[in-house]
Structure 1
Amino acid sequence: MRHRWTFLGVAAGPALALLAGMPAPARAADCGALAGLALPQARVEAEEVAAGSYRPPSGPVQEALPAFCRVRGVVEPVAGSRIGFELWLPAGGWNGRLQMFGNGGYSSALSYGEMAGLLRRGYATLGTDTGHEGDDPSFAEGRPEAIVDWGHRAVHESVVRAKQVVAAFYGQPARRTFFAGCSTGGHQGMASAQRYPEDFDGIIAGASGGNRTHLNAGFLWQYQRNHAPGDDAAALVPPAKLRLVAEAALAACRAGNGAGGGHAADGWLNDPLACRFDPAALRCAGGDGADCLTDPQVEALRSMYDGPRNPRTGERIHFPFPRGSENSGGPPSLPGWSLYWADPGNPSAPARVNYWRHWAGFGAGWSWWAFDFDRDIAAVDARLAPVINATDPDLSAFRRRGGKLIAYHGLADPVVPFAESIAYHGRVAEAAGGDVPSFYRLFLVPGMEHCRGGPGANQPELQAALERWVEEGTPPARILAHHREGNRPDGAIQFSRPLCPYPQRAVHDGAGDQATAESYRCAEFPGMDLPEIGASYRR
């Protein structure tokens, strides 16, 4: 018999009641020892899974897994909230660590592949559904508490209960608890450091896009600027022209904006913001064609490169997307701007329409053409920013408890502008009086797209760096990163680079093999020329 389920009870008492009267487990890693476990405002069930292959509820079969106890839980901390989580506990060889993984977009999907990967190495691994099912913001219709769950509460409630289950299962608490995520997962990591500093000893937060209200406004801006006002029938710049634009931008910038760092003759990798490519260089001499841009297309791209602005004050609301990220290279990379400048399933509507309808409160009949980038931005910020944004620069509580934070962001990201991570790092430094490297380091990844892919060394060894920092007190002076064949995790390494903590960058020594990390040193970066955000929108 492959599985055995144990159903566990619901408790209304305080969290400290968890282990009160709880008998010691018969042996470590025995699902049966969890029988009768009481969790506050939660219920769990446990399943013994034999060693070998296992098919999780979604995604591919996971091979070569050790025997483990699969715990599924539901937390209901307040009326209207229902948070699901899943915890995998190795039956033997537990290394004392609890590792949580973040989510993507608005999806409830758990990162089963990542959970399986660290389970094989002896970790207890954890994921949450963020308080809903599905991947569209419509889940919040009539469920305001689900927005709070997604914004920050689901990760917190899940890891608190998971720590309690771990302690009961092994007879001792996890000695270290870590979090890793990118995109929405990075957002979750930042929210945890800001709101719940005791939850994690170490956090990896990639491409976080913590200013979610303004990030979504940026996507809406892209849509509006890529259509004639009120016309949803056809985009001004069709997705098919993004490759033309990206290739022209890279041809203009890859060899001319500071060659000598990162890749030995590729300055664009290190500083895409120094690229000043003007799409007018592709202006059609006559009529429209596949190899040129019409005047409306040129103006649309210029507006996108400039970023969303308040029409009344002229202030920039959020960072624009960098030149060179328009197409992102195609498969196996992400599809670039076209993924978010319209709804992939309905190109005649903006991305994230249901965010505006059900989260921002504009209702089912909302017209995106009526959106006011002055008045409506202020209304959305007042309604949602305190709940879903992760922009608080005060990390003092996280620092005092000894927490360590590694943030990273790809410099070719077509989804979350990397300038947001740089600006947030600066605000934390200002709030902390400069004492940032002792607990928080930002690593910019030349040539990496959104969380993965791209022409640079886009697979950094983050987990090992974080563990050395947390467990041994060794801060990451550099993090090794690789570019593998086909951008596959198991592909042959084609070249390696060190990633350096901002504001440093990797500089080639001028003599060594450019494909090896040992040929690079970390040196001070002169500082990127970040687009200016209006005073009303700096957060």
Structure 2
Amino acid sequence: MRRHWTRAAAAALPALALLAVLPKQARGADCAALASLALPQAKVEAAEEVAAGSYKPPTGPAQASLPAFCRVQGVVTPVPGSRIGFELWMPKEGWNGRLQMFGNGGYSSAISYGEMAGLLRRGYATLGTDTGHQGDDPAFAEGRPEAIVDWGQRAVHESVVRAKQVVAGFYGLPARHTFFAGCSTGGHQAMSSAQRYPEDFDGIIAGASGGNRTHLNAGFLWQYLRNHRTGDDAAQIIPAVKLRLVGDAVLAACRPANGARGGGHPGDTWLNDPLACGFDPASLRCTGVDAASCLTDPQVDALRSMYDGPRNPRTGELIHLPFPRGSESSGGPPNLPGWSLYWADPGNAGAPARVNYWRHWAGFGAGWNWWRFDFDRDMAAVNERLAPVINAVNPDLSAFRQRGGKLIAYHGMSDPVVPFAESIAYHERVVAAREGEPAVARREVGSFYRLFLVPGMEHCRAGPGANQPELQAALERWVDEGTAPDAILTHNREGNRPDGAVRFSRPLCAYPQRAIHDGAGDPSRAESYRCAEFPLMSLPAIGASYQR
């Protein structure tokens, strides 16, 4: 079935008013009194009222034009060795009855105060967690095994359970709805919540989920090893400066599929179906000496191995889906440098990315030699140790569905950090886990979980495509009114800023549909596109060990 994107659809935003008028006691009571609030296995360490105006949070820039709010800092200690910090901001007046939690990035303890401030201005109570540690390097887990559990699954759950109690204590009634939104590690947290703690959130936004974390880190390690001669950590086979050459060649070879065959518009400057791109780096092979405009034989071989993805040397099975063609080089700011971001540790070019994950989480120790890593035996050992604790790949979402939860997943198709095929593979496993006719199972999954692929978007943001989807509005409409999003409006703005002028807009269509141009309308306008059924995107075969 084809659906046209209309202005009426774009205007159908969820009402910010609650389904019923909140009683007068919804106004915040005495903020300071929350310091004595009794919480199981937790305590409020500080509760202070912040006056309306500008406020400088513990990290990041000052936040202007804030309403008066109650700032609560709490600590949860669910088991010995665990210490989870959380911070909750609640507007003194005008609360809309919603509690919104934000996810984290990478292995960082940083709380997204900018996002909290944005929703506080709109009447939300907002929440963040430090994931049970301080800092942004996996070394935080050295000698602290419970910190791995906190990061992997426990911190979000314990924080939101206590925050709900604080909200009820402050306003005199519980939050009407509780939401979670995160990307990358935040997307991982989102998926873990839906799988492990289905009662925590009414609505969840999961972006670019790195939920298959043990395999994702193996993918980064594979990239490093394939980009160096065995035992040589000093020199890369493919220098980062050649990624632009490769990216341009990929676009030249595969952009002709844009439009009716690949979705989108023929003039798009990104790939709308990267999985259908068969670019071979041999087309760039040097005919003479090495030069900036070509690839040497070792560089061609290294790229082919990366496009093929990490494999078990004994069985040939994929360990991690390969990074897609079209994601090699970044079209965004310098802090998004395509594949080179995780070709090595950002602080040490002579070591793989996330090296302390392998030392302290996988248990290989400070003297770990990555050149001896066995992608069969060692990968199995890592999964045995960590997968049950940190991975979020369980396709059984029945408990989340039964409690009425709604899940929107999204993923940029030019993502150089977490391959977007990961999100497709997980979605298809959820469909396959449902009993009955496949078409019926797909409809049932769509009643509570929908995936939206974002052509031309990089990791969580940026990129040349329409990379700012209106996800929160779509989720709240789904939760509040039961209206499932068939399409979500998304924009490309000047400077990739949330407040930048809109350069062009598109609808994102629920997978497996794609947006295609109607052939006549202004390609910069969303109403010139319709959502059309396409065959499922073709994924490489994956084995059972991959799905742990």
Same fold, judged at TM 0.5 (above): yes
Contact 2:42 2:77 in 1 (8 A): yes
Q: Does 1:116 align with 2:117?
A: yes
* CA displacement, residues 300-335 of structure 1 (integer Å, 9 cap, x when unaligned): 011001100111121111100011101122426611
Query: C-alpha distance in 1, partners of 2:35/2:381?
Result: 49
Q: How does 1:499-518 map to 2 (within 5 A)?
A: 499-518=508-527
The answer to which structure, 1 or 2, has the higher relative contact order (CA under 8 A, 6+ apart) is 2
Contact 1:332 1:486 in 2 (8 A): no
Moved more, 31-40 or 109-118: 31-40
Moved more, 392-401 or 529-538: 529-538
Alignment partner of 2:349: what SS? coil
Aligned to 2:471: 462
Amino acid at match of 1:162: A
* CA displacement, residues 379-422 of structure 1 (integer Å, 9 cap, x when unaligned): 00000000000000000000000000000001000000111100
Q: Closer, same or farther in 2 for the Cα pair 1:288/1:56, shift >3 Å?
A: same
Q: Does 1:172 align with 2:181?
A: no
Aligned to 1:386: 388
What is the number of residues matched between the two proteins? 516
- Report the Cα offset of residue 26 of structure 1: 11
Which of 365, 368, 383 is equivalent to 1:363?
A: 365
Amino acid at match of 1:421: S
Aligned to 2:7: none
* CA displacement, residues 211-255 of structure 1 (integer Å, 9 cap, x when unaligned): 100000000000000000000000101111111111111111112
Q: How does 1:17-416 map to 2 (within 5 A)?
A: 28-44=28-44, 45-256=46-257, 259=260, 261-266=263-268, 269-331=271-333, 334-416=336-418
Aligned to 1:442: 451
Amino acid at match of 1:315: E
Alignment partner of 2:514: what SS? strand
- Report the Cα offset of residue 30 of structure 1: 2.8
Query: C-alpha distance in 2, partners of 1:266/1:335?
Result: 21
- Report the Cα offset of residue 531 of structure 1: 1.5
Contact 1:253 1:268 in 2 (8 A): no
Aligned to 1:8: none
Alignment partner of 1:221: what SS? helix
Q: Closer, same or farther in 2 for the Cα pair 1:390/1:223, shift >3 Å?
A: same
Contact 1:409 1:418 in 2 (8 A): yes
* CA displacement, residues 23-82 of structure 1 (integer Å, 9 cap, x when unaligned): x98962431342421111111111111111111111111111111111001100000000
Aligned to 2:20: none
Contact 1:102 1:127 in 2 (8 A): yes
Contact 2:413 2:420 in 1 (8 A): yes
Query: C-alpha distance in 2, partners of 1:378/1:170?
Result: 49
- Report the Cα offset of residue 537 of structure 1: 2.2
Amino acid at match of 1:40: P
Moved more, 115-124 or 518-527: 518-527
Contact 1:317 1:537 in 2 (8 A): yes
* CA displacement, residues 453-495 of structure 1 (integer Å, 9 cap, x when unaligned): 1111100000000000001111101100001112111111011
Query: C-alpha distance in 2, partners of 1:258/1:517?
Result: 15
Alignment partner of 1:436: what SS? helix
Contact 1:269 1:456 in 2 (8 A): no
- Report the Cα offset of residue 510 of structure 1: 1.3
Query: C-alpha distance in 1, partners of 2:544/2:131?
Result: 33
Q: How does 1:456-535 map to 2 (within 5 A)?
A: 456-535=465-544
Query: C-alpha distance in 2, partners of 1:510/1:192?
Result: 42
- Report the Cα offset of residue 91 of structure 1: 0.8
Extract unaligned runs of 5+ from structure 1.
1-23
Contact 2:181 2:204 in 1 (8 A): yes
Contact 1:130 1:155 in 2 (8 A): yes
- Report the Cα offset of residue 277 of structure 1: 1.0
TM-score scaled to structure 2, two decimals? 0.92
Contact 1:259 1:265 in 2 (8 A): no
Alignment partner of 1:115: what SS? helix
* CA displacement, residues 252-286 of structure 1 (integer Å, 9 cap, x when unaligned): 11123655621344495321111111111111111
Query: C-alpha distance in 1, partners of 2:259/2:53?
Result: 51
Q: CA RMSD in A?
A: 1.5
* CA displacement, residues 424-473 of structure 1 (integer Å, 9 cap, x when unaligned): 00011111231101100000001110000111110000000000000111
Q: Closer, same or farther in 2 for the Cα pair 1:196/1:394, shift >3 Å?
A: same
- Report the Cα offset of residue 152 of structure 1: 0.4
Alignment partner of 2:506: what SS? strand
Query: C-alpha distance in 2, partners of 1:91/1:310?
Result: 56
Alignment partner of 1:393: what SS? coil
Moved more, 324-333 or 162-171: 324-333
Alignment partner of 1:243: what SS? helix
Amino acid at match of 1:363: G
Query: C-alpha distance in 2, partners of 1:53/1:27?
Result: 21
Query: C-alpha distance in 1, partners of 2:421/2:465?
Result: 18
Alignment partner of 1:151: what SS? helix
Q: Closer, same or farther in 2 for the Cα pair 1:484/1:268, shift >3 Å?
A: closer
Contact 1:506 1:521 in 2 (8 A): yes
Query: C-alpha distance in 2, partners of 1:87/1:515?
Result: 40
Aligned to 2:4: none
Contact 1:181 1:188 in 2 (8 A): yes
Query: C-alpha distance in 2, partners of 1:333/1:203?
Result: 27
TM-score scaled to structure 1, two decimals? 0.94
Moved more, 348-357 or 25-34: 25-34
Query: C-alpha distance in 2, partners of 1:241/1:323?
Result: 14
Contact 1:27 1:33 in 2 (8 A): no
Q: Using the aligned pairs only, state the percent identity.
A: 82
Contact 1:393 1:428 in 2 (8 A): yes
Amino acid at match of 1:107: S
Contact 1:255 1:268 in 2 (8 A): no
Amino acid at match of 2:103: G
* CA displacement, residues 193-217 of structure 1 (integer Å, 9 cap, x when unaligned): 0000000000000000211000000
Amino acid at match of 1:223: Y
Q: Closer, same or farther in 2 for the Cα pair 1:473/1:479, shift >3 Å?
A: same
Query: C-alpha distance in 1, partners of 2:60/2:35?
Result: 29
Query: C-alpha distance in 2, partners of 1:391/1:216?
Result: 15
Alignment partner of 1:40: what SS? coil
Query: C-alpha distance in 1, partners of 2:35/2:362?
Result: 43
Query: C-alpha distance in 1, partners of 2:414/2:215?
Result: 19
Contact 2:332 2:464 in 1 (8 A): no
Amino acid at match of 1:53: S
Q: Does 1:538 align with 2:547?
A: yes
Query: C-alpha distance in 1, partners of 2:92/2:208?
Result: 34
Q: Does 1:452 align with 2:461?
A: yes
Amino acid at match of 1:441: R
